[in-house]
Amino acid sequence: MSTLIVTLRTGEEKSVSARDGRSVMEAIRNSGIDEILAICGGCCSCATCHVYVDESFAGRVSSASGDEEDLLDCSDHKTDRSRLSCQIRMSPELDGLRVTIAPED
């Protein structure tokens, strides 16, 4: 089990337990945080689970796929740290991962 630090849109930080192998989106939703809609259920087809990965984890998180990049390109809030949380799998290497929930489009 790893720990995920989530910054909500209000600026409040929450510490979430995340099972290794599960997506960041699943960990956020399972913790009761309702700011991630995840309309597609994690199929990488809606971009409603947009987060910003903290710079300190940029080299440890896998790169976005072409499909993920295409979906993020549709967001008015895309940055170089943008990712879809359904596409990031927790692992021991990501223990302590910090993400910020992006504004809604």
Report d(CA 105, CA 88) in Å as an integer: 21
* pLDDT on residue 41: 86
Question: Quick one: pLDDT at residue 42?
Answer: 87
Q: For the whole model, what pTM was predicted?
A: 0.94
Q: How far apart are CA 45 and CA 37, in angstroms?
A: 12
| pLDDT value of residue 40 | 87
pLDDT tens digits for 29-79? 999 999 998 888 888 888 999 999 999 999 999 999 999 999 999 999 999
CATH numeric code, 2-101: 3.10.20.30
Rounded Cα distance, 79 and 82, in Å = 5
Distance CA(30)–CA(52), nearest Å, equals 19
Q: Where are the domains of the chain?
A: 2-101
Task: Report the pLDDT value the prediction gives residue 32, as an integer from 0 to 100.
Answer: 95
Q: What confidence score (pLDDT) does residue 22 get?
A: 96
Report the sign of the C-alpha dihedral through residues 19, 94, 37, 32, in that order. Answer: positive
pLDDT at 105: 85
- Report the pLDDT value the prediction gives residue 39, as an integer from 0 to 100: 87
